[in-house]
């Protein structure tokens, strides 16, 4: 099978999210706000998840939906930064 052309690949963005129990709260917030089909469209992947900080990878077209879901969730969660690369999100070291 041939690999996909770069123009056919899914465009991703990385979000730095702060809050408590992020590994449980982020998927719950997204599912409640945009539903199961919307959850599938986000292509949510956890890159890094620590106590009060998580880096998630999502589909570029769903950024506004994700930010809305996180902002409306009763437990305090915040999107600190959005970046196209992990290096840009973590900062140059």
* pTM, two decimal places: 0.87
Q: Are the beta carbons of 15 and 56 closer than 8 angstroms?
A: yes
Helix (H, G, I), strand (E, B) or coil at 52: coil
Would you write out the chain's pLDDT as a tens digit for each of its 93 residues? 889 999 998 999 999 999 999 999 999 999 999 999 999 999 999 999 988 999 999 999 999 999 999 999 999 999 999 999 999 988 754
DSSP state of 74: S
Least Cα distance to 26 among 1, 59, 49 occurs for 49
Q: The sheet that has 45-49: what strands, in order across it?
A: 45-49, 53-59, 12-19, 77-83
Q: Domains in the chain, please, with CATH?
A: 10-84 (3.30.70.3250)
Q: What span, in angstroms and rounded, lies between the C-alpha atoms of 86 and 89?
A: 5
In angstroms, rounded to a whole number, what is the distance separating the alpha carbons of residues 28 and 18? 15
The SS3 assignment for 92 reads: coil
């Amino acid at each position: 099978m041939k690999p996909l052309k770069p123009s056919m690949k899914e465009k991703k963005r990385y979000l730095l999210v702060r809050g408590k129990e992020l590994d449980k709260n982020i998927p719950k917030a997204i599912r409640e706000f945009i539903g199961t089909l919307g959850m599938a469209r986000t292509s949510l992947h956890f890159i890094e998840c620590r106590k009060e900080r998580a880096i998630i990878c999502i589909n570029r077209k769903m950024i506004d939906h994700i930010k809305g879901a996180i902002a409306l969730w009763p437990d305090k969660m915040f999107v600190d930064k959005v970046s196209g690369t992990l290096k840009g999100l973590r900062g140059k070291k």
